[in-house]
């Protein structure tokens, strides 16, 4: 025994430190490496998907521009003035007319031929290829001359006003040049290039002079579909998608769509570096903790060694010192001291321990269930009854797969039971068809003499926790966005004021100050809503109603939000009757209600539209209405629109995002605290009418 204690004393420290380091490293690598790999695969897959979608959008934009050009040249061919000038044919008059027409409809070139296809006038002078006639649809062509390059063309015949015979042809076109690809890049949000003859004739990518890979060109021309490949331009890296324009006679003309991936690569590198550093730091902390813990173990071990040597010398009068901590060594000392306790006392203690364990298990709030090897339920605690809704006598001796069913999978429940020491989350159908998310922990139970092992399953209902976590994540993301956008605008305006105040005109200063004011108003509204929401949650929300003039509250709200109306070119229409009654309300909080409703109306309404404030007097209430011309609220969304964290999407015409989902919940809380109600209706012609009611003074 003395030798065993000495051996433990000599090796325990090193073993404990090594085990802690191995556990830390193994756990970190086992969890971090798959997470990094999945994140890497997901980011790259999303990048390729975004690129493919961008290529489809580019194709759609090109087709749309071709259609627009075709319609434009069709309208041009029907102009009586053009028909007359072709018949009379004065080159100077015809050229002057074409130049005026080209500038007015934003064309790069406009040309007229006679009925035999001979070029009469080209504005600007470009030798349009006459052999393309009589093509009367939109197409692409390589033009030569002072302005050479690839052009998108559309040709239509010009017929006589009286005869109906073809008296000539008119061709309109756009150059597929640097300006064209820059506009295309701005519309798609991706870099664009036009490839002609194996080289980029126009591109929006900086520092890119290399020719396109010949094998890639061959694949595109051979397949006639979209082909993808990586690309490096200077220090920047891209994913690219190439597809052919495939016009008649210009088979080598391609379009290249490029997505920059430097940010993705930088994020992957940062994640990998963070994983390595955190692993090393945790390993270092673990080794220090192991060393300190091992030192705490060695002191009581020395005492036990000395006591064992005394006992080996025949001295049984000296008591074995029992340390209070750690528990394991205290247990060892207690075992030596209690070795003389008789068997009857041991059995009595064991019986008491069993009764105490049974009572403890039944008092645990988590559900505890044991399952034998054949899958039958052997034990079902009171916690399990409370969570599942089944009584013990309804499940004992039944197959676990007949009682528990997975909600999202047809797989038997027994195949998803976690192994000993593992944890799982499963969506399970419980009593009366209720679906709940359970957190399960598995363990193995081997009873002496039983002949077989049982599985212990500990589970608890975490449905509300999952919902709260998801809701909290969405809320924090929205709040971060809501603060980031106005703060960025404020920082930019303040920096411009600091750097260029002496050089700014009065109008520019006014614009910057207006931008600062709008940012502050937006932040103030968000903070007010957050504070009110916190007060509501903490049950500290109160109102102080008194007699108020609603027209004064409306005027203050209009003055506060006037810069926002000006910015979005919207008009506030105040339609209040001259004999508006006095209401009984909290003036400050009613102003907050109007500011929230008007801010939402501004956010979701298109530019150059009216937002109307009107009222309707009811029996004991005054209904205040805010009408907008936004996308409207569907009937499905209306029952939940005034709940916290509920946002009703993005306006399709101006891409303004929804907020944190607090404003309308605060509106509802204030209105109901004042004894009123809230609601939303649709209106003819599109848009929504949000309303709330205020009690009339004296009622």
The C-alpha atoms of residue 628 and residue 682 are separated, in whole angstroms, by 10
Share of the chain above pLDDT 90, in %: 10
Average pLDDT, the chain: 78
Q: What is the pLDDT of residue 655?
A: 45
Ordered DSSP codes for 496-528: HHHHHGGG--HHHHHHHHHHHHHHHHHHHHHHH
| Residues in CB range of 357: below 8 A, 6 or more apart | none
**Between vectors from CA 229 to CA 274 and to CA 58, what angle results, nearest 5°?**
105
Q: What is the pLDDT of residue 606?
A: 92
**Between vectors from CA 655 to CA 612 and to CA 48, what angle results, nearest 5°?**
165
The C-alpha atoms of residue 686 and residue 653 are separated, in whole angstroms, by 13
Q: What is the pLDDT of residue 335?
A: 75
Q: Is the pLDDT of residue 56 over 70?
A: yes
Q: What is the pLDDT of residue 652?
A: 40
Return the minimum-mean-pLDDT range out of 70-74, 253-257, 531-535: 531-535
Ordered DSSP codes for 94-114: HHHHHHHHHHHTT-SEEEEEE
Confidence of residue 677 (pLDDT cuts 50, 70, 90): very high
Rounded to whole angstroms, what are the CA distances from 95 to 86, 118, 125? Answer: 11, 15, 10
Mean pLDDT of the 548-573 span:
90
For residues 82 and 448, the model is more confident at 82
Q: Is the pLDDT of residue 285 over 60?
A: yes
The C-alpha atoms of residue 477 and residue 645 are separated, in whole angstroms, by 11
Q: Is the pLDDT of residue 124 over 50?
A: yes
Q: What is the pLDDT of residue 296?
A: 67
Q: Find which of 303-307, 381-385, 533-537 is predicted with most confidence, using mean pLDDT.
A: 381-385
Contact of 235 with 122, CB cutoff 8 Å: no
Q: Is the pLDDT of residue 343 over 50?
A: no
For residues 234 and 496, the model is more confident at 234
Q: Is the pLDDT of residue 653 over 50?
A: no
Q: In order of start, what are the domains of the chain with their CATH numbers?
A: 2-42+266-340 (no CATH), 46-264 (3.30.450.220), 345-461 (3.30.450.20), 467-537 (1.10.287.130), 546-695 (3.30.565.10)
Mean pLDDT of the 663-679 span:
88
Contact of 361 with 402, CB cutoff 8 Å: no
The C-alpha atoms of residue 485 and residue 479 are separated, in whole angstroms, by 10
Q: Is the pLDDT of residue 212 over 90?
A: no
Whether the predicted model's global pTM rises above the 0.95 cut: no
| Closest to 509 (Cα-Cα) out of 500, 521, 522 | 500
The C-alpha atoms of residue 119 and residue 127 are separated, in whole angstroms, by 8
Q: How far is CA 258 from the centre of its chain?
A: 23
**Helix locations, 250-321, DSSP H:** 262-312
- Count other Cβ atoms within 10 Å, centred on residue 285: 12
Confidence of residue 549 (pLDDT cuts 50, 70, 90): very high
For residues 75 and 235, the model is more confident at 75
Q: Is the pLDDT of residue 347 over 50?
A: no
Q: Find which of 218-227, 248-257, 280-289, 630-639 is predicted with most confidence, using mean pLDDT.
A: 630-639
| Closest to 627 (Cα-Cα) out of 573, 669, 587 | 573
Mean pLDDT of the 151-160 span:
88
Q: What is the pLDDT of residue 31?
A: 73
* Paired residues of 166 in beta bridges: 159
Mean pLDDT of the 139-167 span:
80
Contact of 192 with 176, CB cutoff 8 Å: no
Mean pLDDT of the 608-629 span:
93
Q: Is the pLDDT of residue 611 over 60?
A: yes
Return the minimum-mean-pLDDT range out of 28-42, 163-177, 590-604: 28-42
- Per-residue pLDDT reduced to its tens digit, 415-427: 888 888 788 888 8
Q: Is the pLDDT of residue 406 over 90?
A: no
Residue 532, classified by CB atoms within 10 Å of its CB into exposed (0-12), middle (13-18) or buried (19+), is buried
Q: Is the pLDDT of residue 4 over 60?
A: no
For residues 36 and 573, the model is more confident at 573
Confidence of residue 478 (pLDDT cuts 50, 70, 90): low
Contact of 589 with 543, CB cutoff 8 Å: yes
Q: Can you state the angle between helices 506-537 and 587-604, rounded to 10 degrees? A: 120
Return the minimum-mean-pLDDT range out of 383-392, 533-542, 549-558: 533-542
* Paired residues of 405 in beta bridges: 429
Q: Is the pLDDT of residue 266 over 70?
A: yes
Residue 582, classified by CB atoms within 10 Å of its CB into exposed (0-12), middle (13-18) or buried (19+), is middle
């Amino acid at each position: 025994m003395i030798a065993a204690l000495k051996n433990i004393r000599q090796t325990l420290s090193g073993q404990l430190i090594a085990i802690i380091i191995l556990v830390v490293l193994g756990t970190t690598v086992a969890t971090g490496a798959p997470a990094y790999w999945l994140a890497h695969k997901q980011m790259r897959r999303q990048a390729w998907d975004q690129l493919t979608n961008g290529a489809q959008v580019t194709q759609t934009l090109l087709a749309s521009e071709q259609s627009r050009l075709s319609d434009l040249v069709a309208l041009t061919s029907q102009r009586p003035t053009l028909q007359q000038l072709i018949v009379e044919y004065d080159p100077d008059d015809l050229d002057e007319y074409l130049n005026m027409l080209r500038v007015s409809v934003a064309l790069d070139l406009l040309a007229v031929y006679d009925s035999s296809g001979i070029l009469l006038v080209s504005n600007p002078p470009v030798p349009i290829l006459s052999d393309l006639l009589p093509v009367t649809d939109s197409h692409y062509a390589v033009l030569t001359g002072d302005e050479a390059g690839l052009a998108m063309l559309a040709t239509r015949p010009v017929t006589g006003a009286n005869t109906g015979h073809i008296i000539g042809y008119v061709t309109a076109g756009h150059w597929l040049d640097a300006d064209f690809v820059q506009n295309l890049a701005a519309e798609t949000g991706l870099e664009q290039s036009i490839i002609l003859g194996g080289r980029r004739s126009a591109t929006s990518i900086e520092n890119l002079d290399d020719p396109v890979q010949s094998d890639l060109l061959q694949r595109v021309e051979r397949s006639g579909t979209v082909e993808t490949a990586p690309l490096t331009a200077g220090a920047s890296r891209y994913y690219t998608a190439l597809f052919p324009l495939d016009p008649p006679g210009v088979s080598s003309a391609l379009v290249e769509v490029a997505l920059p991936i430097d940010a993705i690569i930088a994020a992957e590198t940062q994640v990998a570096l963070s994983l390595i550093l955190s692993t090393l730091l945790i390993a270092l902390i673990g080794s220090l903790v192991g060393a300190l813990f091992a030192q705490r173990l060695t002191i009581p071990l020395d005492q036990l060694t000395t006591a064992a040597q005394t006992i080996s010398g025949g001295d049984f009068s000296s008591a074995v010192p029992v340390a209070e901590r750690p528990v394991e060594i205290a247990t060892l000392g207690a075992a030596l001291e209690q070795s003389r306790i008789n068997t009857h006392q041991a059995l009595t203690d064991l019986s008491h321990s069993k009764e105490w364990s049974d009572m403890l298990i039944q008092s645990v709030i988590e559900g505890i269930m044991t399952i034998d090897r054949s899958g039958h339920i052997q034990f079902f605690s009171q916690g399990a009854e409370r969570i599942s809704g089944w009584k013990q006598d309804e499940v004992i001796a039944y197959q676990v797969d007949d009682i528990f069913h997975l909600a999202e999978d047809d797989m038997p429940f027994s195949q998803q039971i976690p192994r000993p020491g593992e944890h799982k989350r499963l969506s399970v159908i419980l009593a009366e068809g209720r679906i709940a998310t359970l957190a399960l922990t598995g363990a193995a139970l081997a009873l002496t003499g039983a002949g077989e092992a049982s599985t212990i399953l500990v589970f608890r209902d975490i449905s509300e926790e999952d919902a709260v976590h998801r809701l909290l994540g969405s809320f924090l993301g929205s709040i971060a966005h809501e603060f980031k956008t106005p703060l960025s605008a404020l920082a930019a305006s303040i920096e411009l004021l600091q750097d260029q105040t002496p050089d700014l005109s009065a109008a520019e200063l006014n614009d910057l100050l207006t931008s600062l004011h709008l940012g502050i108003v937006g932040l103030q509204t968000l903070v007010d809503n957050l504070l009110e929401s916190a007060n509501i949650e903490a049950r500290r929300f109160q109102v102080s109603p008194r007699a108020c003039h609603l027209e004064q509250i409306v005027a203050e709200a209009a003055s506060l939000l006037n810069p926002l109306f000006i910015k979005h070119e919207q008009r506030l229409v105040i339609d209040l009757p001259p004999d508006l009654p006095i209401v009984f309300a909290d003036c400050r909080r009613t102003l907050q209600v109007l500011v929230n409703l008007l801010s939402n109306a501004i956010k979701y309404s298109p530019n150059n539209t009216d937002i109307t404030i009107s009222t309707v007097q009811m029996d004991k209430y005054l209904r205040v209405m805010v009408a907008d011309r936004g996308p409207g609220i569907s009937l499905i969304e209306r029952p939940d629109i005034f709940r916290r964290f509920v946002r009703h999407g993005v306006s399709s015409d101006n891409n303004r995002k929804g907020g944190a989902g607090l404003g309308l919940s605060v509106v509802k809380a204030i209105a109901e605290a004042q004894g009123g109600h809230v609601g939303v209706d649709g209106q003819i012609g599109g848009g929504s009418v949000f309303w709330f009611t205020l009690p009339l003074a004296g009622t």
